Structure 1
Amino acid sequence: MTHVSRRGLLGAAAATAAASLLPGLPAMAAAPFRNELPPAWHRFRWGEFEATVISDGSLPLGKPQESFVGPGADRIPAMLTNEFLDPAAATLEQNVLVLNTGRQLILFDTGMGESMGADSKMFGPTTGRLLQNMRAAGIQPEQIDMVIATHAHCDHIWALVDANGQRVFPNAQVAINEADVKFWTDDGNKKGPAFMGPFIEGAKKNLAPYRDRMVMVRDGQEVVPGVTAVFTPGHTVGHTVYFITSQGRTFVNTGDLAHHQVLLLRQPMMEFSFDTDPKLSAQTRSRMLDRLATDKHQVLSYHFPWPGLGHVRREGEGYAWVPSPTNVTVL
C-alpha cells in the first residue's frame, strides 16, 4: 500500500483548485449579486387569533446621540459596542401587526407610506414597504376592517392614504386616541423642532379622509373583543399600547414605548428627541417596562429588531430584551 501524507493530500487539492481557475477557462458557477431581500412577514397563532407581523422596512436614524439624549446618553457608545452594534449609527425596524380575530382583520399602524412625497422618505429609501409585504403575506388592503394607531406620527399613519389623498384601506375604520388627533391636526403646534411642520401636515392629510369612520379609543377599554387600549402618554400626548388577549394568553403591542432594544431598556430614563414630552415619556416607559417584566407578557415592539417579538427582563439598573424564537408555533 502506498502511503500518502496529509501534506501531500493538501498539496494535491491546492493544485487541483488552481488548475480549475486557469486563464481562459470559464467560471461555470458565476452568478450576479441579487441585491434584493425576500418579502418580510412572520405569522403565528395566539389563542384563537392569527397574527402576522409585516415589515415596513428599516428606519435609519443616523448618529444615535442626535436622537437619544439625557440621562445615560454618555454611555451610548459603550452600550452599543457591548451588544456588537454600530456605535455611530442607530437603525430601527418597523414591525406592523395584522391581527385576524376570526371576525375582523385589524391592522396596527401603517408605516411611512408614500402620501407625503419626498417627506415620506425623510428617513431614507428603505421605508414604505408595508403594502408589498402585506400582499406577499396574502393580505389585501381592502380586507382590513380597522386600523388601530398607537399614535399619529409619520411612521405609524402616513400610509392611511396614497399620494393622491385616497384611502389605502377603503373599508377600514380608524381607531386612535382623540388627544393625538387634536394635537397632530392643530397648526398651532407647528413650533419647536423642524419635524413638527411635516408631521402635522402628514397627520392632517392622512386622517382627514377617515373622519367619518373614526373610533376614539379610551384608556382601559376594549377597542374590539380581545384588544384593550392602555394609555401611555409622553412620546405623544395620546400614545397608546394595546393588550391582545385570547384564550387567557396576552401579548402587548407596545408601539413606540421604547425605540431601541438596548439604549432605552438599559437606561429607561434616557430621553428620545422625537418625544412630545421627553420626561413624561421616560416615566411612562419605566413604569410600563416594570409591568411587562413583572407580568412576563410577550411583547411586540414596533422598532425593535425584526420581527420585534420578545420579552422584557429586569437586568441591572434597567431591563434586557429577550427575543422570542420565531419557529415555535406550528400553524
Structure 2
Amino acid sequence: MTMSRRTLLAGALAAPVLVKLALVPANAQTAAAGGVSQVVAIQRLKVGEATVTAISDGFLAIETALLSNVTPEAANEILAAAFVPAVSPVITGVNAYVVQMADQTVLIDAGGAGMLPSLGQLMPGLEAAGIAPDAVTAVLLTHLHPDHIGAMLVDGQPAFPNADVHVHEIEAAFWTSADNRNAAPEEFKPFFDAASAVVETYGDRVKTFTGSAEVVPGITARELFGHTPGHCGFLVGSGEDSLLVWGDIVHVAPVQIARPDIGVAFDADPETAIATRQAILAEVATERTRVAGMHISFPGVGHVVKGSQDGTYVFQPSPWTYDL
C-alpha cells in the first residue's frame, strides 16, 4: 500500500505535532497534572461473562490550538461547561483494557511507554491487577501510533511472549511499507520504525484482519477509519451488556464529544475521522452501547447521550462497580 498525496500531507502536518509532544520535558508534563502523582490506576467491570480491567498508562497534555473547526475561545467555553479547567494544554488520559474470559486474557492496546515521561504505567497496572505479561494470550491493537504500542517490546523482545497480535490489514501494511516510510517527512519516520519493530519482532504471531471480523472468540473488530488508515475499535460481547473499545475516536473528549465536527491535528485523514466520529457517536447514543476510549479521563468507560442540540453529545461515565 502506498501513501497517497493527501495522507502524506496530513502526516507532514501531524508529525511535528507528535514529535513536539514527545519532546515535552518531564517537569512540564508533571506540572500539567499538578505536580503530584496518583496511585497506579486500575478499575474492573463486568461485560457479560468477561471481566474487563481498565488500566491507566498515564496522560497526554494537548494544546487546544491543535483542534480544528473551533476557535480557542469556543473550545474554552465547551471545556468550562463540562467543568474542565479552560486552560491549555488539556490533560487527556491514555488507557488500555484487559479482557479476561474463561480461557483467554486479551489486552487491547499497550500504552506509550518510552514516548513521554507522563506515560508508561501499563506494566505496573498489570502487576497491580495480578495479570502477568506471559498470561496475555492476545493483544488487539486499535492502531499503531506510539502511544498504543509502547509496551509491546522490552529490550527489543516481545513483552507478551505468548500472545498473538491482531491488527487491521490496512494498518499493518501502511506502517510497514518501505515506500511509505521513504515518502514521509524525516521527523515522522520514527513512527514507522516503532510500528515495524513490533510487527517484525512478533513475526508470525501477528494476525491481520479486515471488516467486522471476530478477532478472538467474543471480541469483534469495528472499522473506524480516519485517525489512521486502519484504525479500529473492538466490540466485547454483544447486546445491551457489550462494550465498544473505540480507540482514538476522540482526543480531547469534552470538546469532541460535545462537538464531533471538531478535528485534531493527529488525524491522518481529518474529514474521514470527523465523519467516523459523527457516525459512531450517533450509533452508540441511539443503541445505548457502553463505550471505552483510550483518550477519555480514566477509566474512560461510559455511555454517550444526545445533547440539547442536534449533532451534540454528552459523555456519561459509568458508575463505580462495587461488586463484580
Which residue, out of 228, 231, 239, partners 2:231? 239
Aligned residue number for residue 44 of structure 2: 43
Residue 186, structure 1, aligned to residue 180, structure 2: no
AA matched with 1:183: F
AA matched with 1:319: Y
Q: Deviations over 1:35-71 (max 9, x none)?
A: 543221001222211111111011222x211x21135
Structure with greater proportional helix content: 2
Pair 246,283 (structure 1): closer, same or farther in 2 beyond 3 Å: closer
Pair 74,131 (structure 1): closer, same or farther in 2 beyond 3 Å: same
Distance in 2 of aligned mates of 1:310 and 1:131: 24
**Structure 1: runs of 5 or more not aligned:** 1-33, 115-119
Aligned residue number for residue 59 of structure 1: 60
Q: Residue 204 of structure 1: CA displacement?
A: 1.3
Distance in 1 of aligned mates of 2:186 and 2:81: 33
Which residue, out of 204, 214, 239, partners 2:206? 214
| Matched pairs, number | 286
Larger RCO of the pair (alpha carbons < 8 Å, separation 6+):
2
Alignment of 1:1-331 (within 5 A): 35-61=36-62, 63-65=63-65, 67-70=66-69, 75-83=74-82, 84-114=84-114, 120-121=115-116, 125-162=117-154, 164-190=155-181, 196-245=188-237, 249-315=241-307, 316=309, 317-327=311-321, 329-331=322-324
- Alignment TM-score, normalising by the size of structure 2: 0.83
Distance in 2 of aligned mates of 1:311 and 1:194: 40
- Alignment TM-score, normalising by the size of structure 1: 0.81
Q: Deviations over 1:120-176 (max 9, x none)?
A: 22xxx11011001110110111110000000111111122112x2111111110000
AA matched with 2:323: V
AA matched with 1:99: V
Aligned residue number for residue 32 of structure 2: none
Distance in 1 of aligned mates of 2:319 and 2:124: 25
Tell whether the 8 Å contact from 2:77 to 2:86 is kept in structure 1 after alignment. Answer: no
**Structure 2: runs of 5 or more not aligned:** 1-34
Tell whether the 8 Å contact from 2:64 to 2:72 is kept in structure 1 after alignment. Answer: no
Tell whether the 8 Å contact from 1:73 to 1:270 is kept in structure 2 after alignment. Answer: no
Distance in 1 of aligned mates of 2:279 and 2:70: 16
AA matched with 2:78: M
Secondary structure of the structure 2 residue equivalent to 1:55 = strand
Secondary structure of the structure 2 residue equivalent to 1:189 = helix
Quote the RMSD (CA, aligned, Å).
1.9
Percent of aligned pairs with the same amino acid: 31
Distance in 1 of aligned mates of 2:212 and 2:141: 16
Tell whether the 8 Å contact from 1:150 to 1:241 is kept in structure 2 after alignment. Answer: yes
Distance in 1 of aligned mates of 2:72 and 2:133: 41
